[in-house]
Amino acid sequence: MSSNSVTTKSATHNQSTEIKLFSKAWLFQEKSLIALLLLIAVVSFISPNFFSVDNMLNTLRQTSVNAIIAVGMTMVIITAGIDLSVGAVLALSGAFAASLIAQEVNVVLAVIITLFSGLVLGAMSGIIVAQGKVQPFIATLVTMTALRGVTMVFTDGRPISTGYTENADMFSWLGTGYMLGVPVPIWIMLSIFAIGWYLLNHTRTGRHIYALGGNEDATRLSGINVNRIKIIVYSLCGLTAAIASIIITARLSSAQPTAGLGYELDAIAAVVLGGTSLMGGRGRIMGTLIGALIIGFLNNALNLLDVSSYYQMLAKASVILLAVIVDNRNK
């Protein structure tokens, strides 16, 4: 009886959002952040090159593409969905961006069209999931396959160069430029996270996203149009993939038809490492940032330590497995 009441009490404590700093529950909740700081501390100790401004900014810039996609992925996963099509959306919208720039379309207009295309491509998955009542895994597997095909047709299987015009130079600033000494992709990443955080925590749509993932029937019976929410999250996920495609295309000054292969899995890994449940209903956008940074810094550290890329994959797999096991243990 007494042990019973103790467990209830600690469970209550765990799940309440008002958690004392540095308490046991707080440490558990912030375990991904702690893991990230630990990782940075350990690697700084081993490799002196690691903890330099240059290396930090470089790693953050490299992480930005995955981190931005992971913002959209977080929203999809909170609704208990999944989006496998982000890599394919990235490839196709990147191809659109490159060809628009090559045809000397104004950079701002080209960017807007590219973002819009990402939004529409994502919405396609959303409509299949919502209206077609197809499981998200299958629905986005279909759009992924279809969009990979469309990309090959559109690019003819060859890279599309943005060309050597002034327009192309302006465009490439989005991937290679600096603002206040910080690479532009990092600024973009930070703004996307700020917007994502605001959307999820301070808007009605955000609240509905959590509700949908927590209990779809209850959400529908509460008078919420659940199909609309589903279409919104997949559209936003497509949008984040398009933003990532602009950074990649701008950085390389060309669009590769095979760009973004496997990016969906990296994004999902970042979301899971950030503590978002694949069952839906729970998750924090800042957890995803930390998850993406863990993957980024881990790769960077292993590079600096001269570990071959084959072993890097093993290391990444172990970290994800460990994170999920720890998460389940404490549930």
Partner 1 sequence: MQPILKLQHIDKSFPSVKALDDASLNVYSGKVMALVGENGAGKSTMMKVLTGIYQPDAGVIEYQGRAVAFRGPKDSQDQGISIIHQELNLIQELSIAENIFLGREPTRYGKIQWQQLYADVDKLLQRLNIKYNPRTRLGNLSIGEQQMVEIAKALSFQSKVIIMDEPTDALTDTETDSLFRVIQQLREQGHGIVYISHRLKEIFRICDDVTIFRDGKFIEQTAVANLTEDLIIEKMVGRSLNDQFPKVNIELGEECLQVNNLSGNGVDDVSFSLRSGEILGFSGLMGAGRTELMKLIYGDQPIHSGEVLLSAQTLDLRSPKDALTAGIAYVSEDRKADGLVLSMTVKENMSLSSLAEFCTPYGRIEHLQEKQAVQKFIDLFRIKTPGQNQIIQNLSGGNQQKVAIAKGVMKQPKVLILDEPTRGVDVGARQEIYQLINQFRRDGMAIILVSSDMPEILGMSDRIVVMCTGKVSAEFSSEQASQELLMAAAVGKETEEQT
| Residues binding partner 1 (CB under 8 A) | 8, 11-12, 15-18, 202-205, 207-208, 210-211, 213-215, 217-225, 281-282
d(CA 276, CA 206): 15
Quote the least distance from Cβ 313 to partner 1, whole Å: 33
Quote the least distance from Cβ 243 to partner 1, whole Å: 21
Q: Between 135 and 222, whose beta carbon lies closer to partner 1? A: 222
Quote the least distance from Cβ 183 to partner 1, whole Å: 31
d(CA 128, CA 138): 10
Quote the least distance from Cβ 215 to partner 1, whole Å: 4
DSSP letters along 206-268, please?
HHHHHHHHH-HHHHHHTT--HHHHHHHHHHHHHHHHHHHHHHHHHHHTEE-TTTTTTHHHHHH
Q: Which two tokens stand for residue 38?
A: 């630990």
Q: Between 223 and 262, whose beta carbon lies closer to partner 1? A: 223
Q: Between 181 and 223, whose beta carbon lies closer to partner 1? A: 223
Q: Between 181 and 331, whose beta carbon lies closer to partner 1? A: 331
Quote the least distance from Cβ 321 to partner 1, whole Å: 24
Q: Which two tokens stand for residue 81?
A: 């969905």
In order of 115, 225, 253, the CA distances from 245 in angstroms are: 9, 31, 11
Q: Between 158 and 228, whose beta carbon lies closer to partner 1? A: 228
Dihedral angle, C-alpha 47, 48, 53, 54, nearest 10 °: -70
